[in-house]
Structure 1
Amino acid sequence: MDESSRPPKKKQRSFTVREKRGAVRRMREIGVEEVAHELRCARGTANGWWQQAETLFSFTGHATSKTMKGQGRKVLFPHVPAVVTYMKDVRRDEKALTTRGIMEFMLQIEPAWVASYMQTRGAGS
């Protein structure tokens, strides 16, 4: 397809917590579908705000924030900085960095956590 014949990409819209709160208030009056149409957003997006209404109104952060924070992967191991330091030390010494070595280090500093982690994993996983 020719570059000039492609329609321009639609810019992804994002809404602040304040806008989401206002939308939820409006949904109480006229409904989810009507608000989605007014805001020109997907009905599923508006419905998600409706389902999150309690969380949206109890959020104590900045109203201009786009998210309610807490995204991202949760840390499993409690001493991640110590493991990173160990890995850097091994590399600096020009030794082979292995998973076994990392697990042995983790076992030294947090044996209870490693034991409970290994119980949740099957043999060989």
Structure 2
Amino acid sequence: MTSVKPKKQYRRYTNRDRKCLLAHFHALPLQDEAKFYVDMQIARSTWRGWRNNEHAILRSKRHGSKGSLGDQGRKIIIPFKDALLAYIDERRDEEKF
């Protein structure tokens, strides 16, 4: 019988976590990246991604509990959506059956 290898447990970091860990890294006098991410139990690929996007992470004003930088989501297809919604609401108020 073959044994099934358990799936790796992934950790989700919020923007607050990322900012705090990056600030902690820069506050240390000795900046040995490999030792830092091993000591903090951060995956190497995760740390490399943070370092590549460090500028965007640190300047982000997104709420700390959010997991993303806010660039995800659908693109706006209708540029006049606010005017359209106002028209629909106005029309709905006028037409009472």
Give the TM-score normalised by the residue count of structure 1. Answer: 0.49
Equivalences for 1:7-18 in 2 at 5 Å? 7-18=5-16
Contact kept, 8 Å, 1:21 with 1:57, in 2: the verdict is yes
Equivalences for 1:1-125 in 2 at 5 Å? 2=2, 5-28=3-26, 29=28, 30-72=31-73, 74=75, 78=78
Alignment length (residue pairs): 77
1:69, distance to aligned residue in structure 2 (A)? 1.3
RMSD, aligned CA: 2.4
Give the TM-score normalised by the residue count of structure 2. Answer: 0.60
Contact kept, 8 Å, 2:15 with 2:62, in 1: the verdict is no
Query: Equivalent residue for 1:107?
Result: none
Any gaps of 5 or more consecutive residues in structure 1?
82-125
Any gaps of 5 or more consecutive residues in structure 2?
82-97
Q: Which one scores higher on RCO, CA 8 angstroms, separation ≥ 6?
A: 2
Residues 39/74 of structure 1: CA separation in 2 closer, same or farther (3 Å cut): farther
Q: Measure, in 1, the Cα distance between the counterparts of 2:46 and 2:24.
A: 15
State the structure with more CA Rg. 1
Q: Measure, in 2, the Cα distance between the counterparts of 1:7 and 1:44.
A: 21
One-letter code aligned to 2:43: A
One-letter code aligned to 1:44: S
Residues 34/72 of structure 1: CA separation in 2 closer, same or farther (3 Å cut): farther
1:43-86 per-position Cα deviation (integer Å, ceiling 9, x unaligned): 232122122222212211211111111125645x547x9xxxxx
Q: Measure, in 2, the Cα distance between the counterparts of 1:69 and 1:17.
A: 10
